[in-house]
Amino acid sequence: MLGQQLLNGVVLGAVYALFALGFTLIFGVLGVINLTYGFYFSAGAFLALYFTQGLGISMMLALLLAGIVTGGIAVILDGLLLTPLRRAKAPELASLMVTLGATLFLYSLMSAYFGTDIRRLPPKVFTNVGFNWLGLHIETSQLLILVTMVVIVSGLGWLTQRTRMGLAIRALAENGTAAQLAGINAGAVTRIVSFLSGGIGGLAGVLIGMNYNAIEPYMGEQMMLKGFAVVIMGGLGNIRGALVAGLMLGVLETLTAGYIGSSLKDAVGFGLAVLTLWVRPVGLFGRATIKRA
């Protein structure tokens, strides 16, 4: 029983970690809190639904395509909303507010158009067959979540640490002006980072939509609250912190639901986030940041 709970917790945590990874990447490199990020999550799930149900594409391909399209949406939204603010050197809260407005706009448009009913993936493209191993039961969707998470995390690690593009990304994260003086095309790197994070957010949406087989417009908003908790626990902009904190939150939520009460499950993240702010505001692995004038 405990083993199964832990397994389910790790799978849930893997999605939280994956989702928070894209979110923290935007903050770490571009220095903005992009609230439209939750929308990519919902959009990914809806796109997967459209690809499998409307176009009859296989689930694996739909997952990939949804990630690519949400990545594209993220690039466009960043260009429309945040590039003008960057150009005007607006204060940091301006980007928070503009993405907040955009979030409200996108969600309410989406729910006005699609309705708020829960939609389900067609059974012919996706049947959740499970495996039994050492007395534990793991479903195909759960396996796919773990595999996707490992692939994305190692791929991102390779990209940022071993490639020239990754060097440019890290340089921009460290010091934007200096990176540009060194000849790095900040606009291009911004678009790449937006694409990557949007894609990751979309993938997470498909995976959760598939795992629970429930897709609705506001699912991203719910996820965003978990994402905030994870990035605060792990430290804003800290990728390793997001991964560990995501897994931790998944396990703790599952254990809370299993042993204390399922109504408290969704309060765990917020409680831990406020606790982190009180006890260790830089997060689990954070370093104290020094404000540059």
Partner 1 sequence: MSAFFANLLFTYQSLIYGLGINAILGLSMYVVLAIGQLSLGQAAFMGVGAYASSLLSVKLGLSFPVVLVAAAGVPAMLALLVSVPTLRLSGVYLAIATIGLGEVLRLFYVNWDYAGGALGLSGIPDRGGFFTIFGTLALLLAAAFAVGRSRIGRAMEAIREDEQAAGVMGIDVPRYKLAALVISAAIAGIAGAYNAHVTAFIAPGDYAFDNAVTILSYALLGGIGSPLGPVFGAFLLTALPELLRPLHDYRLVLNGLIIVSVVIFMPRGLFSWHMRRIGAAK
Site for partner 1, rule CB under 8 A: 33, 81, 84-85, 88, 90-94, 96-98, 100-109, 112, 221-222, 224-225, 228-229, 231-232, 236, 263-264, 266-267, 269-271, 273-274, 277-278, 281, 291, 293
CB of 148 to partner 1, least distance (A): 26
Cα separation, 32 vs 145, in Å, equals: 28
For partner 1, the closer CB: 134 or 293: 293
CB of 154 to partner 1, least distance (A): 28
Sequence letter at residue 85: L
On whether the CB atoms of residues 197 and 77 are closer than 8 A, the answer is no
CB of 35 to partner 1, least distance (A): 8
CB of 29 to partner 1, least distance (A): 15
Give the residues across from 223 on adjacent strands: none
List phi, psi (to 5°) of 215: -130, 125
For partner 1, the closer CB: 13 or 67: 13
- The helix/strand/coil state of 31 is coil
Q: Where are the beta strands (DSSP E) in the chain?
A: 130-133, 136-139
DSSP run (H or E) holding 251: helix 239-259
For partner 1, the closer CB: 57 or 268: 268
Q: Six-digit token pair at 251?
A: 């396990």
For partner 1, the closer CB: 139 or 266: 266
CB of 57 to partner 1, least distance (A): 30
Angle at 94 between CA 84 and CA 43, to 5 degrees: 75
For partner 1, the closer CB: 100 or 167: 100
